[in-house]
Chains A and B, each alone.
Chain A
Amino acid sequence: MARGTLLVMTPSRVRWHLGRVLSRQFETESAIRLELDVPTWPGNVAGAHLDIRLTAPDGYQASRSYSLASSGESTRVVLVIQELPGGEVSPFLVRQLAEGEEVEVQGPLGRFFVWIPAEPEQSPVQLIAGGSGVVPLFSMASAREREPKGADFRLLYSVRSPRDEFFADELAELSRTIVEIVHTRESAPGAGRPPRRLTREALAASTFPASLSPRIFVCGPTPFVEAVAGWLVELGHDPAQIRTERFGGSP
């Protein structure tokens, strides 16, 4: 029934690819940065994700979705994967997957929680990350960095401690995104202020106001996203301008 309609729609760009691990590097004590060489990768927009499928020697398979930290035409894709204690796939990717080893990947996936530089953009872009939810937002800020002109960007990054930060060096070097990092459990040495939970007032102070009608991308664990998105609406932001993504993938 649906198949007849499918034929007249845009041909699929989503397919399975073979990726080889070019490098692996610990991003934090419990997260790995993987760079994969995927010769057939068609490129991806910032904010997109992919599925990784692992196959055990007995044929058993498991698949998971991960956000891409990289964007653009490149056939080298970058992922930063947080190990979930007791997880099935992430401990293998973080601790065991070796340089040179191949994995199957499907993608690129997602056309909603994405930022495309070519789109004419009047309003500023506010990125709000909780924990490892920073990955697709970092990808957007990096894509913005490559554009000489474009929307004003801000990133608010809520993370437990300096040791848990992803992309610490790259974030410090961004020149086209204003970055503010909130440590919720443990401050940087000499920070001069105690760790703090994000509140509605702190959110208001560190983000574009509703009067500027920013487009907003929020990514993090569900309680974080629920709280932040709720506060944004209370602060007068149009719900239609707020896009959310939660751990567990998309949609």
Chain B
Amino acid sequence: MGVINGGFGGRHGSSDPRLPPGQTHVYDWPVLSTGPTPNVDEGRWSFTITTEDEVAHRWNWSEFQEVGVEDIVTDIHCVTHWSKLDMAWRGVPIDRLFEDVETSYDYVMVRSYGGYTTNLPLEDLLDGQAWLATEAEGEPLTPEHGGPARLLVPHLYFWKSAKWIRGMEMMPLDDPGFWEQNGYHLRGDPWREERYW
């Protein structure tokens, strides 16, 4: 719109080429969630993928540990305008969890303990793009950051990286999840600034 705020210098903290438009580099790790932090202990944690055949692929915590983890270094981008660069994560690749899953559906509803949901195209979760993360910066994920396990989809805005994940349900259409029903974009690509709709 061509407005210039003449007195605004700015720290040019958004000049790093790794930062998508409208994002600012932060060094702390802000917490955002919609309600109380659920207490999910590893003993009662499980993760289930459900398909149109109602076949459930389910892992409890110890079975999940056997799937095999990867170390990832990646940037994360929150729709509230902060990005955190070069974060060290450890998690199970979603590709591994889908190895035995047969589905003709293209979309996934992610479900969390506490009731949170978010929708993604399956193709945003495969091919080395997404993990179920259990550690960040060398420590187990704390409950407020989604522990014991959260989704990690760093190429989309971070509300897609659901905390306290408990399952994925395949769906034929891209039905909106929690924030997507509340004004946020269906896909959320930070490089296209797909924040709101």
Q: Is the CB of A249 within 8 A of B33?
A: no
B62 on the A face (CB < 8 A):
no
Bound-complex Cα distance A112 to B35 (A): 11
In the complex, identify which listed stretch (A30-38, A130-138, A197-205, A228-236) lies at the interface while the others stay far away: A228-236
Distance in angstroms between the alpha carbons of A9 and B78 in the assembled complex: 24
Given the contacts A51-B81, A61-B22, A111-B182, A2 and B121 also touching, CB distance less than 8 Å: yes
Q: Does the CB pair B182–A244 fall under 8 Å?
A: no
B10 and A251: CB pair below 8 A? Answer: no
Interface range on chain B (Cβ under 8 Å from partner): 35 or more
Q: Find chain B residues with CB under 8 A from A103 CB.
A: 3, 5
When distances are taken between beta carbons in the complex, the residues of chain B under 8 Å from A65 are: 80-81
A211 at the interface (CB under 8 A from B): no
Is A251 in contact with B179, judged by CB distance below 8 angstroms? yes
Interface readout for B1-24 with A: 1 if CB under 8 Å, 0 if not?
101111111111111000001101
Interface contact B1-A104, CB-CB below 8 Å: yes
> Of B37, B115, B159, B196, which contacts A226 at CB under 8 A?
B37
Q: Are A14 and B4 in contact (CB under 8 A)?
A: no
> B22, B35, B196: which contacts A53 (Cβ < 8 A)?
B22
- One digit per residue, 1 when the CB lies within 8 angstroms of any chain B CB and 0 when it does not, for chain A 15-26 equals 010100000000
Q: Are B196 and A248 in contact (CB under 8 A)?
A: no
Given contacts A248-B31, A249-B80, contact A61 B144 (CB under 8 A): no
In the complex the two chains form, is A250's CB within 8 Å of B144's CB? no
Kindly state the separation between the CA atoms of A144 and B148 in the bound complex, as whole angstroms. 40
B10–A248 touching, CB < 8 Å: no
List, sorted by A's number, 9 A–B pairs whose CB atoms are closer than 8 Å: A1-B174, A14-B183, A14-B196, A55-B3, A60-B10, A61-B21, A110-B183, A239-B35, A248-B32
B residues whose Cβ falls under 8 Å from a Cβ of A? 1, 3-15, 21-22, 24, 30-38, 78-82, 106, 114-115, 121, 123, 144, 159, 173-174, 176, 178-179, 181-187, 196-197
Give me the interface of A with B, judged by CB distance under 8 Å.
1-2, 5-6, 9, 12, 14, 16, 18, 51, 53-57, 60-65, 88, 92, 96-98, 101-104, 106, 109-113, 222, 226, 229-230, 232-233, 239-240, 242-244, 246-251
